[in-house]
Amino acid sequence: MKYLLWQTRPALIKAHLAKKLYPSPLDNNPHSENKQNPGVTAHTPGLTDESEPFPNGQNCGKVRVAAIQSRLTLVENVLEYVDTMYLHTAEAVAKGADLLVFPEDNATQLLGLLPGISNLPREANLNKALASLGDTQLSAGDVFSYLTPVTRQVYFTTFKELARRFGVYIMGGSIIIRQDGAISNSQGTLQKQVVNAAYLFAPSGEPVGQQVKAHLLPVEAEWGISCGCDLQVYSTPLGNLAFPVCMDATYFETFRILANRGAEIILVPTANPDRYNFWKALRGAWPRVQETPVYGVTSALVGEVLGMELTGRAGVFAPLELTPNGDGVLAQAPDPHQEAVVVADLDLKALRQYRKESQIWERLNRKLVAKYLPEYY
């Protein structure tokens, strides 16, 4: 582990990124005024459409977001990972983005640093590969737990530097890491908790928000990952942001709770281990955006590795009435298998006006819903 930590030391990553080119935040970006205030505060429950969305009176109007579709490739050198994150960021910023959204499992690439991983057959399932070592008690979660000091170090150093140097907000996607502290398992034994967590970085470079994935895929449960039980909203100069992870968007309650806590832009990092199916993929952010309503930004991890085929289409979604074609899509990657960076402008004033005029909240039978969700109604 000491050798891996030395190979991925923050000084190495910072020195590498320092050699890259960085445009001034004021260059070619009509939204640059949003980057001057990196302030972020956690939001409180119960915000209604009539409430002031920013406690400090900030009201930005329009925000340009970038949804990033990145390829999962196991790297043998940490600088390969850093270069990939830099290139995606540079492309998004060149397109004028204020807020960047990276995919779920956005540090899994670093599994390639483990000796012997590159020798596994392409179709080798991670759990089966571990079982072949003769230790049936070892799970994929144990591997992620072991690598946590490395993945945490690389992820945080990389995105802190990129956010600071480009002067933008970056939701760096999620990473599977061991969380501080321990929990009691079903046998009452204390054990480390491994979670799938996403983080938001401000233009100052500081990490200012965290969201732990609340709804797991079956494969994640098999890996020994634990689910989160909280949903967070963060007030920023760009709007009220939330970033539930992948499967969390399958359930309408997630978006409804976040909207009631004040969320206006909901970011959804995804890594779908399945062949692309338009109708199956539709169960996520798009319908949630129409029901709530909010803006939705979905990033995607794609590629074939460790026995998994990952597909998806990064996109930016809005209520039907706020999209040019009336289809709820502001921008979307054309190919579910290839890398892409798609951008779109979000008009928060238009969203707030639409909420008032549509009267979606007013028509809701609050007495009925409050019976079952009293905290929010």
The rounded distance, in Å, linking the Cα atoms of 53 and 46 is 12
- pLDDT band at 118, cuts 50/70/90? low
Structure tokens at 246: 């992948």
The enclosing H or E element of 199 equals strand 190-201
What mean pLDDT is reported for the chain? Answer: 86
pLDDT in tens, 282-294: 889 999 999 999 9
Contact 148, 178 (CB under 8 A): yes
2-32+47-181+189-372: in CATH 3.40.1360.10: no
Structure tokens at 307: 């026995």
* CA 221 centroid distance within chain: 19
Can you give the pLDDT at residue 116? 73
- Please give the model's pTM, rounded to 2 decimal places: 0.87
The rounded distance, in Å, linking the Cα atoms of 235 and 47 is 12
Domain chopping of the chain, boundaries? 2-32+47-181+189-372
* CA 281 centroid distance within chain: 17
The rounded distance, in Å, linking the Cα atoms of 280 and 248 is 15
Contact 28, 96 (CB under 8 A): yes
pLDDT in tens, 232-258: 999 999 999 999 999 999 999 999 999
Check whether 132 has a pLDDT greater than 80: no
Span 310-327, average pLDDT? 96
Can you give the pLDDT at residue 199? 98
